Amino acid sequence: MLVLGVETSCDETAVALVKDGRLVRSLTSSQAELHSLFGGVVPELASREHYRFVGPLFDKLLGDSGVCASDIDAIAATRGPGLLGSLLVGVAFAKSLALALDRPLIGVNHLRAHLLATGLSNTLLFPALGVLASGGHTLLYWIKSPDDFETLGTTIDDAAGEAFDKIGQFLNLPYPGGPVIDQMALGGEPSYDLPRPYIDNDNLDFSFSGLKTAAIKIAREHKDLDIRDFCASLNEAIADALAIKTERALERFPAEAVWFAGGVAANNRVRKKLEDAAERRGLPFLVPEKRFCGDNAAMIAYSGWLLAKAGKTSGLDLESIPRGRKIPDDYRKVIDLDREAP
Ligand code: KG4
Ligand code: ZN
Protein backbone atom coordinates (compact mmCIF):
# COMPACT_ATOMS: atom_id res chain seq x y z
CA MET A 1 0.00 0.00 0.00
CA LEU A 2 1.42 3.39 -1.06
CA VAL A 3 0.56 6.23 1.33
CA LEU A 4 1.16 9.94 0.77
CA GLY A 5 1.86 12.07 3.87
CA VAL A 6 1.33 15.84 3.99
CA GLU A 7 2.68 17.94 6.87
CA THR A 8 2.00 21.68 7.26
CA SER A 9 1.41 22.16 10.98
CA CYS A 10 4.07 24.79 11.63
CA ASP A 11 6.90 26.19 9.51
CA GLU A 12 7.86 23.13 7.46
CA THR A 13 6.00 22.23 4.27
CA ALA A 14 6.58 18.51 3.75
CA VAL A 15 5.36 15.60 1.63
CA ALA A 16 6.46 11.96 1.66
CA LEU A 17 5.59 8.54 0.32
CA VAL A 18 5.64 5.34 2.38
CA LYS A 19 5.08 1.99 0.71
CA ASP A 20 4.16 -0.98 2.91
CA GLY A 21 5.76 0.69 5.93
CA ARG A 22 8.99 1.64 4.18
CA LEU A 23 9.98 5.14 3.19
CA VAL A 24 10.06 5.82 -0.54
CA ARG A 25 10.96 9.51 -0.43
CA SER A 26 10.51 12.49 1.87
CA LEU A 27 10.75 16.17 0.90
CA THR A 28 10.75 19.14 3.26
CA SER A 29 10.79 22.83 2.49
CA SER A 30 11.70 24.77 5.62
CA GLN A 31 10.59 28.33 6.25
CA ALA A 32 12.98 28.73 9.20
CA GLU A 33 15.06 31.39 7.45
CA LEU A 34 12.02 33.55 6.78
CA HIS A 35 10.71 33.32 10.35
CA SER A 36 14.15 33.82 11.87
CA LEU A 37 13.87 37.46 10.75
CA PHE A 38 11.10 37.77 13.36
CA GLY A 39 12.61 35.53 16.08
CA GLY A 40 9.73 33.04 15.85
CA VAL A 41 7.07 31.65 13.53
CA VAL A 42 4.65 34.26 12.09
CA PRO A 43 1.41 32.26 11.53
CA GLU A 44 0.05 34.29 8.61
CA LEU A 45 3.34 34.05 6.72
CA ALA A 46 3.57 30.33 7.45
CA SER A 47 0.13 29.64 5.88
CA ARG A 48 1.03 31.63 2.76
CA GLU A 49 4.30 29.78 2.35
CA HIS A 50 2.59 26.38 2.73
CA TYR A 51 0.08 27.44 0.09
CA ARG A 52 2.92 28.45 -2.23
CA PHE A 53 5.00 25.30 -1.76
CA VAL A 54 2.74 22.31 -1.17
CA GLY A 55 1.71 21.83 -4.83
CA PRO A 56 5.19 22.11 -6.40
CA LEU A 57 6.64 19.92 -3.63
CA PHE A 58 4.04 17.22 -4.37
CA ASP A 59 4.90 17.38 -8.10
CA LYS A 60 8.59 17.02 -7.29
CA LEU A 61 7.89 14.09 -4.97
CA LEU A 62 6.08 12.22 -7.73
CA GLY A 63 8.79 13.05 -10.29
CA ASP A 64 11.67 12.06 -7.98
CA SER A 65 10.00 8.78 -7.03
CA GLY A 66 8.77 7.83 -10.51
CA VAL A 67 5.24 7.51 -9.18
CA CYS A 68 1.93 8.67 -10.72
CA ALA A 69 -0.70 10.29 -8.54
CA SER A 70 -3.01 7.39 -9.39
CA ASP A 71 -0.52 4.93 -7.81
CA ILE A 72 -1.27 6.41 -4.38
CA ASP A 73 -3.61 4.23 -2.29
CA ALA A 74 -4.32 6.58 0.63
CA ILE A 75 -3.65 10.20 1.61
CA ALA A 76 -2.62 11.13 5.14
CA ALA A 77 -2.35 14.68 6.43
CA THR A 78 -1.52 16.28 9.76
CA ARG A 79 -4.83 17.44 11.23
CA GLY A 80 -3.37 18.95 14.42
CA PRO A 81 -2.20 20.19 16.76
CA GLY A 82 -0.55 23.13 15.06
CA LEU A 83 -1.21 26.59 13.64
CA LEU A 84 -4.77 26.52 12.35
CA GLY A 85 -4.15 28.45 9.11
CA SER A 86 -1.18 26.22 8.31
CA LEU A 87 -3.04 23.00 9.06
CA LEU A 88 -5.94 24.07 6.84
CA VAL A 89 -3.63 24.36 3.82
CA GLY A 90 -2.31 20.78 4.16
CA VAL A 91 -5.67 19.25 5.05
CA ALA A 92 -7.44 21.04 2.17
CA PHE A 93 -4.72 19.85 -0.22
CA ALA A 94 -5.11 16.27 1.05
CA LYS A 95 -8.90 16.43 0.81
CA SER A 96 -8.71 17.67 -2.79
CA LEU A 97 -6.39 14.80 -3.72
CA ALA A 98 -8.55 12.24 -1.91
CA LEU A 99 -11.58 13.50 -3.81
CA ALA A 100 -9.84 13.75 -7.18
CA LEU A 101 -8.19 10.32 -6.94
CA ASP A 102 -11.09 8.71 -5.08
CA ARG A 103 -8.82 7.46 -2.32
CA PRO A 104 -9.27 7.37 1.47
CA LEU A 105 -8.21 10.35 3.59
CA ILE A 106 -6.52 9.82 6.95
CA GLY A 107 -6.18 12.63 9.49
CA VAL A 108 -3.01 12.20 11.56
CA ASN A 109 -2.21 13.47 15.05
CA HIS A 110 1.12 15.27 14.66
CA LEU A 111 2.34 14.46 18.19
CA ARG A 112 1.67 10.75 17.89
CA ALA A 113 3.26 10.77 14.45
CA HIS A 114 6.54 12.12 15.89
CA LEU A 115 6.72 9.04 18.13
CA LEU A 116 5.47 6.56 15.54
CA ALA A 117 8.32 7.77 13.27
CA THR A 118 10.57 5.52 15.37
CA GLY A 119 8.97 2.69 13.36
CA LEU A 120 10.60 3.92 10.14
CA SER A 121 13.90 2.48 11.34
CA ASN A 122 12.92 0.11 14.18
CA THR A 123 10.36 -2.55 14.92
CA LEU A 124 7.77 -0.85 17.10
CA LEU A 125 7.47 -2.52 20.51
CA PHE A 126 4.30 -2.17 22.62
CA PRO A 127 3.43 -1.21 25.27
CA ALA A 128 5.92 1.63 25.20
CA LEU A 129 6.74 4.70 27.19
CA GLY A 130 6.79 7.56 24.68
CA VAL A 131 8.76 10.73 25.40
CA LEU A 132 7.94 13.59 23.06
CA ALA A 133 9.97 16.81 23.28
CA SER A 134 9.40 19.41 20.58
CA GLY A 135 9.11 23.17 20.22
CA GLY A 136 5.51 23.26 21.39
CA HIS A 137 5.09 20.13 23.51
CA THR A 138 6.72 17.98 26.16
CA LEU A 139 4.75 14.83 26.85
CA LEU A 140 5.01 11.39 28.36
CA TYR A 141 2.68 8.80 26.82
CA TRP A 142 1.73 5.25 27.64
CA ILE A 143 1.41 3.73 24.16
CA LYS A 144 -0.49 0.48 23.75
CA SER A 145 -0.95 0.49 19.97
CA PRO A 146 -0.48 2.94 17.05
CA ASP A 147 -3.89 4.32 17.91
CA ASP A 148 -3.95 4.04 21.71
CA PHE A 149 -1.96 6.77 23.44
CA GLU A 150 -2.62 7.76 27.06
CA THR A 151 -1.07 11.00 28.32
CA LEU A 152 0.87 10.45 31.55
CA GLY A 153 2.47 13.85 31.90
CA THR A 154 2.92 17.18 30.14
CA THR A 155 4.61 20.51 30.68
CA ILE A 156 2.87 22.99 32.94
CA ASP A 157 4.52 25.94 31.15
CA ASP A 158 7.20 26.00 28.41
CA ALA A 159 8.11 23.03 26.22
CA ALA A 160 11.68 21.67 26.27
CA GLY A 161 12.38 22.99 22.75
CA GLU A 162 10.86 26.34 23.64
CA ALA A 163 13.30 26.62 26.58
CA PHE A 164 16.21 25.95 24.20
CA ASP A 165 14.87 28.52 21.72
CA LYS A 166 14.10 31.28 24.24
CA ILE A 167 17.49 30.95 25.92
CA GLY A 168 19.12 30.86 22.47
CA GLN A 169 17.30 34.07 21.58
CA PHE A 170 18.62 35.73 24.76
CA LEU A 171 22.14 34.61 23.82
CA ASN A 172 21.63 36.11 20.33
CA LEU A 173 22.04 32.73 18.69
CA PRO A 174 20.30 32.06 15.35
CA TYR A 175 16.70 30.80 15.50
CA PRO A 176 15.82 28.06 16.39
CA GLY A 177 18.31 27.93 19.25
CA GLY A 178 18.06 24.19 20.02
CA PRO A 179 20.29 22.79 17.26
CA VAL A 180 22.82 25.62 17.70
CA ILE A 181 23.06 25.04 21.47
CA ASP A 182 23.48 21.32 20.79
CA GLN A 183 26.42 22.02 18.44
CA MET A 184 28.07 24.63 20.67
CA ALA A 185 27.88 22.27 23.65
CA LEU A 186 30.03 19.68 21.88
CA GLY A 187 33.22 21.48 22.84
CA GLY A 188 32.09 22.52 26.33
CA GLU A 189 31.92 21.28 29.91
CA PRO A 190 28.70 21.52 31.97
CA SER A 191 30.31 23.81 34.57
CA TYR A 192 27.43 26.25 35.22
CA ASP A 193 25.06 25.34 38.01
CA LEU A 194 21.56 25.35 36.51
CA PRO A 195 18.47 24.09 38.37
CA ARG A 196 16.50 20.91 37.55
CA PRO A 197 13.08 22.38 38.19
CA TYR A 198 9.87 20.59 39.17
CA ILE A 199 11.54 17.41 40.34
CA ASP A 200 10.53 17.48 44.03
CA ASN A 201 7.03 16.15 43.56
CA ASP A 202 5.72 12.74 42.65
CA ASN A 203 4.03 13.53 39.34
CA LEU A 204 5.10 12.98 35.74
CA ASP A 205 4.72 16.58 34.57
CA PHE A 206 7.48 18.94 33.46
CA SER A 207 8.28 22.62 33.92
CA PHE A 208 10.95 24.50 32.01
CA SER A 209 10.12 28.15 32.61
CA GLY A 210 12.04 28.32 35.92
CA LEU A 211 15.10 26.87 34.21
CA LYS A 212 14.77 29.46 31.45
CA THR A 213 14.62 32.33 33.98
CA ALA A 214 17.57 30.94 35.96
CA ALA A 215 19.65 30.38 32.81
CA ILE A 216 19.02 33.92 31.57
CA LYS A 217 19.92 35.32 35.01
CA ILE A 218 23.22 33.40 35.08
CA ALA A 219 24.04 34.43 31.51
CA ARG A 220 23.38 38.07 32.41
CA GLU A 221 25.51 37.92 35.59
CA HIS A 222 28.55 36.37 33.88
CA LYS A 223 30.08 39.01 31.67
CA ASP A 224 32.80 36.51 30.70
CA LEU A 225 30.31 33.72 29.96
CA ASP A 226 31.92 30.71 28.30
CA ILE A 227 29.26 30.03 25.72
CA ARG A 228 30.32 26.43 25.08
CA ASP A 229 30.32 25.52 28.76
CA PHE A 230 27.03 27.33 29.22
CA CYS A 231 25.39 25.42 26.34
CA ALA A 232 26.74 22.13 27.74
CA SER A 233 25.25 23.02 31.15
CA LEU A 234 21.93 23.80 29.55
CA ASN A 235 21.86 20.49 27.66
CA GLU A 236 22.61 18.68 30.90
CA ALA A 237 19.82 20.42 32.83
CA ILE A 238 17.17 19.79 30.16
CA ALA A 239 18.37 16.21 29.67
CA ASP A 240 18.15 15.57 33.44
CA ALA A 241 14.66 17.06 33.68
CA LEU A 242 13.46 14.71 30.92
CA ALA A 243 15.39 11.66 32.15
CA ILE A 244 14.26 11.94 35.78
CA LYS A 245 10.57 11.92 34.85
CA THR A 246 11.13 9.18 32.28
CA GLU A 247 12.68 6.94 34.93
CA ARG A 248 9.86 7.77 37.30
CA ALA A 249 7.30 6.73 34.67
CA LEU A 250 9.21 3.50 34.01
CA GLU A 251 8.94 2.62 37.72
CA ARG A 252 5.16 2.80 37.39
CA PHE A 253 4.46 1.44 33.90
CA PRO A 254 5.72 -1.95 32.67
CA ALA A 255 6.98 -0.73 29.29
CA GLU A 256 8.61 -3.03 26.74
CA ALA A 257 10.55 -0.10 25.25
CA VAL A 258 11.21 3.62 25.49
CA TRP A 259 10.53 5.73 22.40
CA PHE A 260 11.95 9.25 22.19
CA ALA A 261 10.98 11.70 19.45
CA GLY A 262 10.35 15.36 18.51
CA GLY A 263 12.87 18.03 17.52
CA VAL A 264 14.70 17.83 20.86
CA ALA A 265 15.33 14.09 20.29
CA ALA A 266 18.01 15.22 17.81
CA ASN A 267 20.01 16.62 20.75
CA ASN A 268 23.11 14.49 21.36
CA ARG A 269 23.24 14.84 25.13
CA VAL A 270 19.51 14.52 25.76
CA ARG A 271 19.36 11.47 23.54
CA LYS A 272 22.25 9.85 25.42
CA LYS A 273 20.76 10.52 28.87
CA LEU A 274 17.41 9.03 27.92
CA GLU A 275 19.12 6.06 26.32
CA ASP A 276 21.04 5.50 29.58
CA ALA A 277 17.75 5.68 31.52
CA ALA A 278 16.20 3.00 29.30
CA GLU A 279 19.36 0.89 29.46
CA ARG A 280 19.42 0.95 33.27
CA ARG A 281 16.08 -0.85 33.12
CA GLY A 282 17.21 -3.20 30.36
CA LEU A 283 14.78 -1.68 27.83
CA PRO A 284 15.26 -1.06 24.11
CA PHE A 285 15.52 2.63 23.27
CA LEU A 286 13.85 3.60 19.99
CA VAL A 287 14.51 6.97 18.33
CA PRO A 288 13.88 8.14 14.78
CA GLU A 289 16.85 8.90 12.56
CA LYS A 290 17.95 12.47 13.29
CA ARG A 291 16.51 13.73 9.99
CA PHE A 292 13.07 12.51 11.14
CA CYS A 293 13.18 14.00 14.66
CA GLY A 294 12.00 17.44 13.54
CA ASP A 295 8.85 18.06 11.53
CA ASN A 296 8.64 15.93 8.39
CA ALA A 297 6.06 14.14 6.29
CA ALA A 298 7.66 10.68 6.46
CA MET A 299 6.22 10.37 9.97
CA ILE A 300 2.78 11.39 8.66
CA ALA A 301 2.84 8.94 5.75
CA TYR A 302 4.07 6.17 8.06
CA SER A 303 1.36 6.89 10.67
CA GLY A 304 -1.19 7.01 7.85
CA TRP A 305 -0.01 3.59 6.73
CA LEU A 306 -0.36 2.16 10.26
CA LEU A 307 -3.85 3.62 10.61
CA ALA A 308 -4.92 2.51 7.14
CA LYS A 309 -3.74 -1.00 7.95
CA ALA A 310 -6.03 -0.91 10.97
CA GLY A 311 -8.85 0.21 8.64
CA LYS A 312 -9.05 3.67 10.20
CA THR A 313 -9.81 6.51 7.81
CA SER A 314 -11.36 9.97 7.99
CA GLY A 315 -14.26 11.57 6.17
CA LEU A 316 -14.06 14.64 3.96
CA ASP A 317 -15.54 16.51 6.93
CA LEU A 318 -12.21 16.02 8.77
CA GLU A 319 -11.56 19.05 10.97
CA SER A 320 -8.18 20.69 11.56
CA ILE A 321 -7.49 21.03 15.27
CA PRO A 322 -5.33 23.94 16.53
CA ARG A 323 -2.96 23.68 19.47
CA GLY A 324 -4.75 23.52 22.81
CA ARG A 325 -7.82 21.62 21.61
CA LYS A 326 -8.22 17.89 22.14
CA ILE A 327 -8.02 15.86 18.96
CA PRO A 328 -11.16 13.71 18.69
CA ASP A 329 -10.98 10.00 18.01
CA ASP A 330 -13.32 10.15 15.02
CA TYR A 331 -11.85 7.62 12.60
CA ARG A 332 -14.27 5.67 10.49
CA LYS A 333 -13.47 2.00 10.62
CA VAL A 334 -14.83 1.09 7.23
CA ILE A 335 -12.46 -0.69 4.91
CA ASP A 336 -9.62 -3.15 4.85
CA LEU A 337 -7.19 -1.29 2.61
CA ASP A 338 -4.75 -4.18 2.49
CA ARG A 339 -7.38 -6.27 0.79
CA GLU A 340 -8.53 -3.49 -1.53
CA ALA A 341 -5.08 -2.26 -2.56
CA PRO A 342 -4.31 -2.99 -6.22
O1 KG4 B 1 9.37 18.67 16.46
P2 KG4 B 1 9.81 19.99 15.97
O3 KG4 B 1 10.62 20.06 14.70
O4 KG4 B 1 8.61 20.97 15.77
C5 KG4 B 1 7.54 21.03 16.63
O6 KG4 B 1 6.58 20.25 16.40
O7 KG4 B 1 7.64 21.85 17.57
O8 KG4 B 1 10.65 20.64 17.15
C9 KG4 B 1 11.28 21.87 17.01
C10 KG4 B 1 12.05 22.13 18.30
C11 KG4 B 1 12.66 23.53 18.33
O12 KG4 B 1 12.39 24.08 19.60
C13 KG4 B 1 14.14 23.26 18.15
O14 KG4 B 1 14.97 24.21 18.77
C15 KG4 B 1 14.28 21.91 18.82
O16 KG4 B 1 13.13 21.19 18.42
N17 KG4 B 1 15.49 21.21 18.35
C18 KG4 B 1 16.52 20.91 19.15
C19 KG4 B 1 17.49 20.28 18.34
N20 KG4 B 1 17.00 20.19 17.06
C21 KG4 B 1 15.75 20.77 17.10
N22 KG4 B 1 16.71 21.16 20.45
C23 KG4 B 1 17.87 20.73 20.99
N24 KG4 B 1 18.85 20.13 20.27
C25 KG4 B 1 18.70 19.87 18.96
N26 KG4 B 1 19.67 19.25 18.26
ZN1 ZN C 1 6.51 18.62 15.46
Strand partners, 138: 133
Q: Which atom of ligand 1 is nearest to the CA of 110?
A: 6
Give me the long-range contacts of 271-274 (CB less than 8 A, separation at least 24). Answer: 272/239, 273/239, 273/240, 273/242, 273/243, 274/131, 274/239, 274/242, 274/243, 274/246
165, 135 in Cβ contact below 8 A?
A: yes
Is any ligand 1 atom within 6 A of the Cβ of residue 262?
yes
pLDDT of residue 280: 97
Residue type, 212: K
- pLDDT score recorded for residue 175: 85
pLDDT of residue 40: 82
Q: pLDDT value at position 313?
A: 96
Minimum-distance ligand 1 atom for the alpha carbon of 136: 7
**How remote is the CA of residue 262 from the centroid of ligand 2, in Å?**
6
Per-residue pLDDT, 342? 47
Supply the pLDDT for residue 85.
Answer: 98
Residue nearest to atom 7 of ligand 1 (CA): 135
Question: What pLDDT is recorded for position 339?
Answer: 54
Q: How far is the CA of 111 from the centre of ligand 2 (A)?
A: 6
Atom of ligand 1 nearest to the CA of 9: 6
Digits of tens for pLDDT over the chain (342 positions)? Answer: 999 999 999 999 999 999 999 999 999 999 988 988 888 889 999 999 999 999 999 999 999 999 999 999 999 999 999 999 999 999 999 999 999 999 999 999 999 999 999 999 999 999 999 999 999 999 999 999 999 999 999 999 999 999 999 999 999 998 889 999 999 999 899 999 999 989 999 999 999 999 999 999 999 999 999 999 999 999 999 999 999 999 999 999 999 999 999 999 999 999 999 999 999 999 999 999 999 999 999 999 999 999 999 999 999 999 999 999 999 989 986 555 555 554
Q: Which residue is closest in CA terms to ligand 1's atom 11?
A: 135
The confidence score (pLDDT) of residue 203 equals 97
Closest C-alpha residue for ligand 1 atom 14 = 178
Does the CB atom of residue 175 touch ligand 1 within 6 A? no
Cα-to-centroid distance, 253 and ligand 2 (Å): 25
User: 3-state class of 44 per DSSP?
Assistant: helix
Residue 139 CA, distance from chain mean position: 11
pLDDT in the model for residue 338: 58
Which ligand 1 atom sits nearest the alpha carbon of residue 177?
Answer: 14
Ligand 1 proximity of 294 Cβ (cutoff 6 Å): yes
End-to-end CA distance of the chain: 8
The edge-to-edge listing of strands for the beta sheet with 148-154 is 148-154, 138-145, 128-133, 257-261, 285-286
Question: Is 5 near ligand 1, meaning CB less than 6 Å away?
Answer: no
Residue 168 Cβ contacting ligand 1 at under 6 Å: no
Distance CA 306, CA 340 (A): 15
CA distances (Å), origin 129, targets 65, 95, 97, 215, 281: 35, 33, 35, 29, 12
CA of 178 to the centre of ligand 1 (A): 6
